[in-house]
């Protein structure tokens, strides 16, 4: 490997995305020789002592970082959050019962579709009328729903719940793109789940953080691979877990803890997003796409007021080493994802490019 650095890449990718450099280095080492065992972390049994310790550490770090109640359980499964969309109704909706959902974006909409495959699904709040550019507020959750599901951060449209809905029925959240970005009161949730490939680690593992008292209550007969209670009772080892993704997630969570935990992550993320949003708001050439009070701290989205300028702007940020800020293919414009591992220096580089471009072309 070359040790000379080229232009530093400022990685704003929406996911998979930036991970801490020191985590990547450690992960690379362990790919060849895990902790002096002479074996790669991916060529040892998941039931070996070393890997069992990795799994236990990963599970305990999820709970420790989020301050979860002691009895909550953690499993890591394959299939992404997308399989989670189907696992949720299977595990929490009673046959003949119903589920309530907030539809606030692409992923939330997919969760609704999967729930409809399982049973009655009511959308009690939606921002579809304005192309998902805001977070619905003040909606009612029916008391007879088996659960209420929402998406804490809408990765594609760039909105985020700043306050979580209060719910008398079990609360379930897809936190894929802002888990570990801020403190949450885990005890309010029956289930928090998310794909690892944003703040937590590499793609391939999906984390489920569950209140065990809310599991196994539907009477629905499930395949053991889709049964969260089964996975929890087998300590996430019912079948072979995604060992490398769990390992690198464990390293990333350890990094977060060493940096000061989710309180420090929240402080850094607030500073990064303020820097970018202030720039968007100050320069007439750029415009935010969402309601200001609902702006995502993780995935700021914006457009250029004159789309004809995009090509020239693109050339300039690319030359500065900025990577991955084109908006999702379904939305267009720009999205600068700023996950936990992205340093504020990278945001400063992007902001400097925007300022410079506006000065020369405004």
Ligand X SMILES: *Cc1c(COP(=O)(O)O)cnc(C)c1O
Q: Which residues bind ligand X (CB under 6 A)?
A: 15, 80-82, 107, 151, 155, 174, 176-177, 195
Of 80 and 332, which has the nearer Cβ to ligand X? 80
For this structure, is 318 an active site residue?
A: no
- Neighbouring CB atoms inside 10 A of 15's CB total 19
Of 136 and 283, which has the nearer Cβ to ligand X? 136
Decide the pairing of beta strands 148-151 and 171-174: parallel
**DSSP character at residue 179:** T
CB of 297 to ligand X, least distance (A): 14
SS3 assignment, position 149: strand
Of 54 and 173, which has the nearer Cβ to ligand X? 173
What is each CA distance from 278 to 271, 273, 292, 337, 355, in whole angstroms? 11, 8, 11, 16, 11
Catalytic residue among 146, 178, 198, 227: 198
Q: Say how far apart CA 85 and CA 195 lie, in whole Å.
A: 11
Of 202 and 357, which has the nearer Cβ to ligand X? 202
Q: Say how far apart CA 351 and CA 95 lie, in whole Å.
A: 52
**Which one, of 221, 194, 206, 89, lies nearest residue 145 by Cα?**
89
- Name, in order, each residue with C-beta under 8 angstroms of 26's C-beta and a sequence gap of 6 or more: 251
CB of 111 to ligand X, least distance (A): 8
CB of 85 to ligand X, least distance (A): 8
CB of 203 to ligand X, least distance (A): 7
Catalytic residue among 129, 130, 146, 174: 174
For this structure, is 317 an active site residue?
A: no
Catalytic residue annotation: 107, 174, 198
């Amino acid at each position: 490997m070359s040790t000379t650095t080229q232009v530093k890449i400022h990685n704003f990718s929406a996911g998979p995305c930036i991970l801490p450099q020191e985590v990547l280095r450690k992960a690379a080492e362990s790919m060849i020789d895990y902790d002096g065992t002479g074996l790669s972390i991916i060529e040892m049994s998941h039931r070996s002592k070393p890997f069992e310790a990795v799994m236990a550490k990963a599970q305990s770090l999820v709970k420790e970082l989020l301050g979860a109640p002691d009895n909550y359980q953690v499993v890591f499964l394959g299939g992404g959050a997308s399989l989670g969309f189907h696992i949720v109704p299977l595990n929490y909706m009673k046959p003949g019962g119903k589920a309530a959902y907030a539809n606030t974006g692409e992923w939330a909409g997919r969760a609704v579709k999967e729930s409809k495959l399982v049973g009655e699904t009511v959308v009690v709040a939606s921002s579809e009328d304005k192309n998902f550019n805001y977070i619905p507020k003040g909606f009612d959750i029916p008391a007879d729903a088996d659960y209420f599901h929402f998406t804490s951060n809408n990765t594609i449209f760039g909105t985020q719940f700043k306050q979580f809905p209060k719910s008398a029925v079990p609360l379930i959240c897809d936190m894929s793109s802002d888990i570990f970005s801020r403190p949450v009161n885990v005890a309010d949730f029956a289930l928090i789940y998310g794909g690892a490939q944003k703040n937590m680690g590499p793609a391939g593992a999906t984390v489920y953080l569950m209140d065990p008292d809310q599991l196994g209550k539907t009477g629905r007969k499930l395949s053991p691979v889709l049964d969260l209670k089964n996975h929890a009772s087998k300590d996430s080892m019912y079948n072979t877990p995604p060992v490398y993704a769990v390992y690198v997630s464990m390293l990333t969570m350890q990094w977060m803890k060493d940096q000061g935990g989710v309180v420090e992550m929240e402080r850094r993320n607030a500073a990064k997003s303020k820097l970018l949003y202030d720039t968007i708001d100050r320069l007439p050439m750029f415009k935010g796409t969402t309601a200001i009070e609902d702006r995502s701290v993780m995935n700021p989205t914006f457009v250029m007021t004159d789309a004809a300028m995009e090509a020239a702007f693109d050339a300039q940020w690319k030359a500065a080493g900025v990577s991955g800020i084109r908006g999702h293919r379904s939305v267009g414009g720009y999205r600068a994802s700023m996950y936990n591992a992205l340093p504020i220096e990278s945001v400063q580089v992007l902001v400097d490019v925007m300022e410079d471009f506006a000065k020369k072309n405004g």
